[in-house]
Amino acid sequence: MTKKVSVMIFHDELCQVFNGLMTALSLLRAGADVTVFFGSRGINAVHKEKVKNLKCMPDEPKEIGEKVMQKMDELNLPTALDMLTMLDLEGALLLACPLNKDIFEMSEDDLVDGVSVADPETYYTDIVMKADMNLSF
């Protein structure tokens, strides 16, 4: 029996986005049926340009965030865009919040390939309520 997992990413801080995407990818590769929803500021993580400029710990002194980014590079970790591509190619459902898309003045063309806009009439009933696990980042 396949487990259904809903991962909701509400932040655009790179460490939060990275953790959400890595968790989703790990669960997908373990055999789960995974949906990743990007709402609130998390919508920036699926914007074609903004995803390339996400920062780690922007509320900390600049040198701390830069040190974390440097360490991630040294460890040769995948980028957020790399993980979005992997999730898409490996079968995860990637959804953007329609309300936040409009609030942040994005069009569907601004979204990373593989990301579609969620249907607000069915997202909660068909995805969230039927999930065996709901995780938020």
pLDDT in tens, 42-95: 999 999 999 999 999 988 999 998 999 899 989 999 999 999 999 999 999 999
Global pTM reads 0.93
User: How far, in Å, are 24, 58, 117, 125 from residue 38 at the CA level?
Assistant: 12, 20, 9, 17
pLDDT over 90 (residue 136): yes
Parse the chain into domains and list their residue ranges: 4-136
Q: Find out whether 42 and 17 touch, Cβ atoms under 8 Å.
A: yes
pLDDT over 90 (residue 124): yes
> What band does 39 get if pLDDT is binned at 50, 70 and 90?
very high
Give the count of alpha carbons within 13 A of 31, CB side only: 3
| CA trace torsion 46, 49, 52, 55 (10° rounding) | -80
| pLDDT, position 65 | 87
Average pLDDT, the chain: 95
Query: What is 4-136's CATH number?
Result: 3.40.1260.10
Task: At 71, list the tokens.
Answer: 């360490």
* % the chain with pLDDT above 70: 100
